[in-house]
Amino acid sequence: MSEEQFTKHANDRARVLIVDDMPVNRTILSSMLSTLGISCDLAGSGAECLDLCRKNNYDLILLDHRMPDMDGVDTLVELKEIFRKSGFESPVICHTAEEGRGYINLYKAAGFADVLIKPADPGQVMVMLMKYLPDGGFEMPEDEEQKKKNAKELSSLPDWIKQIPMLDLMSGIEHCNTASDYIDALMIFTGSIEEKAADIERFEKDGNWPMYLLKVHSLKSVAGLIGATSLAQAASDLEFAGHREEYGLIHAGTGALLKEYRNMLPQLKRILDGKDMTALVNNSDNEGHKGKQNKHIEQSVMFISDDSGIVGRGITKCLEDEGFTVIPVKDVPEIILNHRGDSDLLLYYPTGDNDHIKLVSTILTEICRDDNKTLCLAGDPLDINVALDIHDKDYISSVYPRPVDLDRMASDMAQYYNVQAEYQRTKTVLVIDDDPDFLAIIDKWLSEQYDVECLRSGESALAYLEHKRPDLILLDLEMPGLNGDQVMKRIRSNPKCERIPIIFLTGKNDKDDVIKILELKPDGYLLKSMPHEVLLDSLDRFFAGSILSGDLS
């Protein structure tokens, strides 16, 4: 991309403000938008939203309704006054839980442009963007490239699997990302058919509805992941009937569900011997997998500059005396991009005309946004101000105007290095779920990047937490014995582990469950139906945001 093209691209990008008191909701939405080339600012409260809107103009604002202190409506009232004074009004979309679906007209009457129900569906988000962002404000994702990748993975599956009519193979590949991971999920699913079908049959016969619903719910989740869409829908219908206590419908529909479920066993049983799966698993294209974050972090700084004078030499010597390896990189876009992987700490000394400084600053902040790097500026105060006059200036961590305080710079760089080392440290994730099939799949997915501990009950999790401290807990909402909300309350009441972040994993996004989750105030919630790569990306962004904001103890 030429300098002229890059400048035009940067100027055309839309800017969106995401306001939500739950970090994971902010990171999931920003992740969706960043794939479209949209620049996002994030706010965790109404007050923070107002501060940002006093300083910046936004093409669109996604505003959570239910927030402590100042809710979405109160925030909107003050936003309208800010818009009136500035002469620039942004469309504000109310981002609310399922309960808000029945109040869309009221939200619009209050002044919201529209309503987006969470958890946000990517299709709904795309519709909102096309409706409210100016032309050229975002880039369509590279659908063709992803389709080609999925088609390649699909073509590598054994022919006999392609002949099974009950499987939507493309849906399974989209959820699992690779043919290898899809085969693993199929093996887990197939290996439990007899046991799970017998459990569902027994609980329906005995009228043990709590256990029946748990088993049907888990079947719905795993069937959806492998693309058994008809089976997943049948399980979902029975779960819905159970919550409405329509037991006649359950008795009438369970037989058909079990027949379809058990009919999959003879068609999939061949997968359990694994003989014709070995080559596929060993040779699968895993280029989308990141691998665990346990790489050694070199204490280095990439110094981007066109200044070889006394100030540049002084900065280099100061950092070297502090124990850093200084990697000099000329402030040319192509050269910077070629060196983007050399260090996690970037120090830019802006020089040249204003357009050049803004271009280089935009490139560096985008690298920091996408790769979770740290960027600082040093140099002439006027040049620093030019570098700060860009959309993504919030990704600039510190500035050191001339005369540069070298001692402060060296001290800050040491702290930023520690933050980056903490981010790269392999995190431990505790997953609590009563469904062994889902645990096996999630363990395989997350183990690419994290140390994973899996437990099947709230009681065993509480015992585990008496001796160990994971970096994050993924907690199933519905479990026998202690359910998710009870486990959450017990953890939060224990001083030893009260600060461990908790994200609920749930197969539901209906009104009652969303309200229950929000009232518990976890650090977020994720749907079990999330595709493999989306789940990994959401957790990665959650950890990055938590570390950089100081939320992790």
Q: Return averaged pLDDT per consecutive 10 residues of the chain, 553 residues in all.
A: 39 78 76 73 90 91 84 88 89 76 65 78 73 62 71 90 92 88 91 94 94 91 91 92 92 95 92 62 45 61 84 88 91 88 90 91 86 87 91 83 90 85 82 92 88 92 91 88 89 88 76 62 77 80 62 46
Contacts of 47 (CB under 8 A, 6+ apart): 69, 70
> DSSP states of 42-69 as a string?
EESSHHHHHHHHHH---SEEEEES--SS
Q: In terms of domains, do 8 and 128 share one?
A: yes
Q: Which pLDDT does position 5 carry in this prediction? A: 39
Nearest to 62 by CA among 72, 74, 47, 52: 72
Q: In terms of domains, do 395 and 443 share one?
A: no
Would you say residue 182 lies in a domain? yes
Would you say residue 148 lies in a domain? no
Q: In terms of domains, do 348 and 398 share one?
A: yes
Q: In terms of domains, do 437 and 529 share one?
A: yes
Q: Which pLDDT does position 106 carry in this prediction? A: 65
Exposed (0-12), middle (13-18) or buried (19+): which is 484, by Cβ within 10 Å? buried
Distance of CA 232 to the CA centre of its chain: 24
Exposed (0-12), middle (13-18) or buried (19+): which is 549, by Cβ within 10 Å? exposed
Residue carrying structure tokens 């999630």? 442
Q: Which pLDDT does position 39 carry in this prediction? A: 80
Give the global pTM: 0.62
Q: Which pLDDT does position 487 carry in this prediction? A: 92
Residue ranges making up the domain that contains 224: 164-283
Would you say residue 143 lies in a domain? no
Element (H, E) at 346: strand 345-349
Q: In terms of domains, do 119 and 190 share one?
A: no
**Rounded distance, CA 296 to CA 526, Å?**
30
Contacts of 322-328 with CB under 8 Å at 24 or more apart are 322/410, 322/413, 322/414, 323/299, 324/299, 324/300, 324/413, 324/417, 325/298, 325/299, 325/300, 325/301, 326/300, 326/301, 327/300, 327/301, 327/302, 327/303, 328/303
Number of domains in the chain: 4
**Rounded distance, CA 522 to CA 475, Å?**
10
Q: In terms of domains, do 264 and 313 share one?
A: no
For 12-23, b where at least 16 C-beta lie within 10 A, e where not — what string?
ebbbbbbbbbbb
Nearest to 223 by CA among 180, 179, 286, 268: 268
SS3 state of residue 533 = helix
